[in-house]
Amino acid sequence: MRVLIVEDDEDLRYGVAGALRSAGLAVDTAADLPEADESLTVNEYDCVVFDRILPAGDALDYVRERRDAGWTPAVLFLTARDSTADRVAGFEHGGDDYLVKPFATAELIARVRNLCRRGQVTRPPVLRHADIELDTARRQARRAGVLLTLTGKEFAVLEQLMIREGGVVGRGVLIEHCWDAMAEPLSNVVDVVIANLRRKLGDPQPIVTVRGAGYRLT
């Protein structure tokens, strides 16, 4: 799952991004609305976290304009504006959730994860392929009933493979959904994670390479 943080306070921006990355999410950041607009133009996000008052204006108006144009990602407003009127305005302008600063990091992570899943309502909370089971809510993976110890990236890659069960998943798709903008598409990060994932899944090996196209489960 990929998230964009739009926050002009540098310390808070990187603090929130670090917490979400530690929770296994791919995270990009923007310091203002023009920078956010650029990221939203070239990338797909499951959730966008907006501070309300930014150098270029109120994020409420920006979100409302994008919603009117058919924009669908989940939106969380993360702001110090805590009146009932502010909260109501947040929802009326297209927000899906509203969290007031100061906040508990664990609550923010839980809310963002919930919003990411909400945009995938047709997906069951537990994914299964043969004897592999992936509980996306609890972030647990099992094979033949045995709990696997996966890193955040390994879990994310396996999730993408299971979502597209039987289909070929290209490296570009994995980069798009499992890594943030700091990832180098030409590096071997995908190969390393796939290799580690194969080792942890064991035999018979469920991940096959489709030469020139990507990977799939078999």
Judged on CB neighbours under 10 Å (0-12, 13-18, 19+), 68 is exposed
d(Cα 174, Cα 190) in Å, to the nearest integer? 8
Spell out the CATH class of 126-217: mainly alpha
Tell me the pLDDT of the chain averaged across its residues: 87
**What's the per-residue H, E or C state across 88-121?**
HHHHHCCCCEEEECCCCHHHHHHHHHHHHHHCCC
pLDDT reported for residue 179: 78
Q: Which of 6-15, 89-98, 143-152, 165-174 has the least mean pLDDT?
A: 165-174
pLDDT reported for residue 122: 52
The proportion of the chain whose per-residue pLDDT surpasses 90, expressed as a percent, equals 48
Give residues with Cβ within 8 angstroms of 209, minimum separation 6. Answer: 215
pLDDT reported for residue 133: 92
**Boundaries of every domain in the chain:** 2-118, 126-217
Whole-prediction pTM value?
Answer: 0.65
pLDDT reported for residue 177: 78
Q: What is the pLDDT of residues 36-88, one digit of tens each?
A: 998 888 888 889 999 998 988 899 999 999 888 888 889 999 989 889 999 99
pLDDT band for 1, please (50, 70, 90 cuts): confident
Q: What is the pLDDT of residues 178-214, one digit of tens each?
A: 877 666 655 688 889 999 999 999 999 999 988 888 8
Superfamily of segment(s) 2-118: Response regulator (3.40.50.2300)
Q: What is the pLDDT of residues 86-135, one digit of tens each?
A: 999 999 999 999 999 999 999 999 999 888 877 554 566 788 888 999 88
pLDDT reported for residue 186: 57
Quickly list DSSP for the chain. Answer: -EEEEE-S-HHHHHHHHHHHHHTT-EEEEESSHHHHHHHHHH---SEEEE-SEETTEEHHHHHHHHHHTT--SEEEEEES--SHHHHHHHHHTT-SEEEESS--HHHHHHHHHHHHHHTTTTS-SEEEETTEEEETTTTEEEETTEEE---HHHHHHHHHHHHTTTS-B-HHHHHHHHS-TTS-TTSSHHHHHHHHHHHHH-SSP-EEEETTTEEEE-
Mean pLDDT of 127-148: 88
